[in-house]
């Protein structure tokens, strides 16, 4: 499920690409969806500033990542799919919800809320990375998720305050690394809430190298596919 195209006002493109690569490697057949709604705003990514005179549509912008093969989120059903995954990017907090503005008091897009509840009720796994775990924390009471660490640690975890909001929304936050370096062979961490079948990983919540983000997302995808039982 995509939320636009671009980290500051839509889906984080590297995260979406990583999810798609790992799903492909895992033998999954993928369909991409996005809500047919206006973006909260448009950000000039070269300046990091909103472009006040522009407006864009989430579905249309998401089609850029999907290479045109995108479907309105309203048509996503559990009967046709074994799992659902939400990449991160500020679009999850701006277009799929109002978290960027309202924090713990945010509202979630009605179709996003429906999809999360439907997959949860059907016992089918839900994968989320970066900021998107806030969606599960808001919609699925008591869900265990991770957005990484709970302290900024000198800028390594610039969005650490998100963990506090997750707790205030009734979710359980579990501290995880984007990757684990204290071993001869680094491992890449995802938190698996086995009760709710929710799998999360920090991704770009951490300031680290791109390959660590890529492999951390791989751990999330691997666990989502494992939970499908296929």
| pLDDT tens by residue, 56-103 | 999 999 999 999 999 999 999 999 999 999 999 999 999 999 999 999
Is 130 an active-site residue? yes
Here the tokens at position 49 are 């500033």
Mean pLDDT of 203-215: 94
Domains and CATH numbers, the chain: 13-228 (3.40.50.880)
For the beta carbon of residue 141, count every other beta carbon within 10 angstroms. Answer: 10
181 falls in which pLDDT band (50, 70, 90)? low
Report the percent of the chain where pLDDT is more than 90. 93
Q: Annotated catalytic residue: which of 129, 130, 174, 206?
A: 130
3-class SS letters over 88-134: CCCHHHHCCECHHHHHHHCCECHHHHHHHHHHHHCCCCEEEECCCHH
Q: What pTM was estimated for this model as a whole?
A: 0.95
**Cα 218-224-225 angle, rounded to 5 deg:** 90
Residue 171 phi/psi, 5-degree rounding, is -85, 165
Give 12-56 pLDDT, tens digit per residue. 999 999 999 999 999 999 999 999 999 999 999 999 999 989 999
Q: Taking the CA atoms of 178, 182, 187 and 191 in sequence, report the sign of the dihedral they define.
A: negative
- Asked whether the predicted pLDDT for residue 183 surpasses 60, the reply is no
177 falls in which pLDDT band (50, 70, 90)? confident
- Asked whether the predicted pLDDT for residue 166 surpasses 90, the reply is yes
Q: Which residues contact 166 (CB under 8 A, 6 or more apart)?
A: 133, 134, 137, 145, 147, 172, 173
Give 123-160 pLDDT, tens digit per residue. 999 999 999 999 999 999 999 999 999 999 999 999 99
């Amino acid at each position: 499920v995509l939320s636009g195209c671009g980290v500051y006002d839509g889906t984080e493109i590297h995260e979406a690409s990583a999810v798609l690569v790992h799903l492909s490697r895992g033998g999954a057949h993928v369909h991409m969806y996005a809500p047919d709604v206006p973006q909260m705003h448009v950000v000039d990514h070269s300046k990091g500033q909103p472009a006040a005179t522009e407006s864009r549509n989430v579905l249309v912008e998401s089609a850029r990542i999907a290479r045109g093969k995108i479907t309105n989120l309203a048509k996503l059903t559990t009967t046709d799919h074994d799992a659902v995954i939400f990449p991160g990017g500020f679009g999850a907090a701006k277009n799929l919800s109002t978290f960027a503005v309202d924090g713990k008091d945010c509202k979630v897009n009605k179709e996003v809320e429906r999809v999360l509840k439907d997959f949860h009720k059907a016992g089918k796994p839900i994968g989320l990375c970066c900021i998107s775990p806030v969606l599960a924390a808001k919609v699925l009471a008591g869900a265990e998720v991770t957005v990484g660490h709970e302290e900024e640690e000198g800028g390594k975890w610039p969005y650490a305050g998100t963990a506090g909001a997750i707790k205030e929304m009734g979710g359980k936050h579990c501290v995880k690394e984007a990757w684990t370096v204290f071993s001869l062979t680094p491992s890449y961490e995802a938190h698996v809430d086995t009760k709710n079948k929710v799998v999360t990983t920090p991704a770009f919540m951490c300031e680290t190298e791109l390959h660590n983000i890529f492999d951390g997302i791989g751990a999330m995808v691997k666990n989502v596919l494992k939970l499908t039982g296929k």
